[in-house]
């Protein structure tokens, strides 16, 4: 089944759709504004926020974020939609809406994969950074070029890039507007894996399988624990609580039984 959230104000404004795999385990969020290189508008950001919240409430165990077209992942913010905003409008509407949508994506209980099949600049890279994993085509390029426009990354790029690459490389990325290839993005820590474009889907499929074969609740708890630890939460408290919750599920018993029987586990809990 699939659910679609679409803009309606006119042509070339794009749409965001959600499609589920036949077994319901994987939800794919597609941002489709290919005619404008998937440039993001306020409406698309709001639609993305709606799609993310739908997926978060679903039984899906994995979320994949894609964009339409085969050359550009996303060129970032649509300059024509923010260039004339007042200072208050930039603060109140543009920046806040992007943060709300991307933060909702980052906070999903399910693990998420961004499939970067082409250029990911500015807000496009920030969109990918809000996912847990980034699989990128070796031929793709990523960058945060905002200082060349007289502004700065506004949708979490400075924070997430610093967390992934360290302070010095984040400064190089933002201040020099350096463009990285897919392989360089992996070496910098911005991407999880790179592959030639012809092998990109195989790489995504392998990572997806690895994520889906873990116990669903344990995978989601693990993600939450790591995010909490990154924010300074004490593991001795949260791991005890999460371990207690995991112990109450059928999946722990199944995992132990499968280990003893030397067979693949058949997990069922969500």
**pLDDT 10s digits, 36-84:** 999 999 999 999 999 999 999 999 999 999 999 988 999 998 878 777 7
pLDDT of residue 256: 86
Q: What is the pLDDT of residue 3?
A: 54
Catalytic residue ranges: 126, 146
Q: Give the N- to C-terminal CA distance of the chain in Å, as an integer.
A: 19
Structural domains in the chain, CATH included, are 2-212 (3.90.226.10), 216-261 (no CATH)
Give pLDDT < 50 ranges for the chain.
4, 6-9
Segment 50-53 long-range contacts (CB within 8 Å, at least 24 positions apart) = 50/5, 50/16, 51/3, 51/5, 51/16, 51/17, 51/18, 52/101, 52/104, 52/105, 52/108, 53/104
**Amino acid 60: pLDDT:** 97
- Confidence (pLDDT) at 146: 95
Give how far Cα 86 sits from Cα of 112, 189, 261, Å: 34, 36, 65
């Amino acid at each position: 089944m699939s659910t679609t959230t679409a803009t309606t104000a006119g042509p070339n404004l794009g749409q965001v759709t959600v499609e589920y795999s036949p077994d319901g385990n994987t939800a794919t969020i597609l941002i489709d504004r290919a005619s404008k290189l998937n440039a993001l508008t306020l409406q698309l950001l709001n639609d993305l926020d709606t799609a993310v919240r739908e997926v978060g409430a679903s039984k899906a165990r994995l979320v994949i974020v894609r964009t339409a077209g085969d050359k550009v992942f996303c060129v970032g913010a649509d300059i024509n939609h923010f260039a004339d905003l007042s200072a208050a409008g930039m603060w109140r509407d543009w920046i806040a809406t992007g943060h709300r949508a991307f933060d909702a994506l980052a906070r999903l209980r399910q693990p998420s994969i961004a499939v970067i099949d082409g250029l990911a600049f500015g807000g496009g890279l920030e969109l990918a950074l809000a996912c847990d994993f980034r699989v990128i085509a070796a031929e793709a390029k990523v960058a945060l070029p905002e200082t060349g426009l007289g502004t700065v990354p506004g949708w979490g790029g400075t924070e997430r890039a610093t967390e992934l690459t360290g302070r010095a490389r984040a400064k190089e990325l933002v201040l020099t507007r350096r463009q990285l290839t897919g392989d360089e993005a992996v070496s910098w820590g911005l991407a999880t894996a790179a592959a030639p474009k012809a092998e990109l889907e195989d790489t995504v499929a392998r990572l997806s399988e690895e994520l889906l074969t873990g116990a669903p609740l344990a995978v989601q708890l693990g993600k939450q624990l790591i995010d909490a630890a990154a924010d300074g939460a004490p593991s001795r408290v949260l791991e005890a609580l999460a371990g207690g919750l995991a112990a109450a599920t059928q999946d722990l018993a199944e995992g132990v039984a499968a280990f003893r029987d030397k067979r693949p586990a058949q997990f069922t809990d969500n």
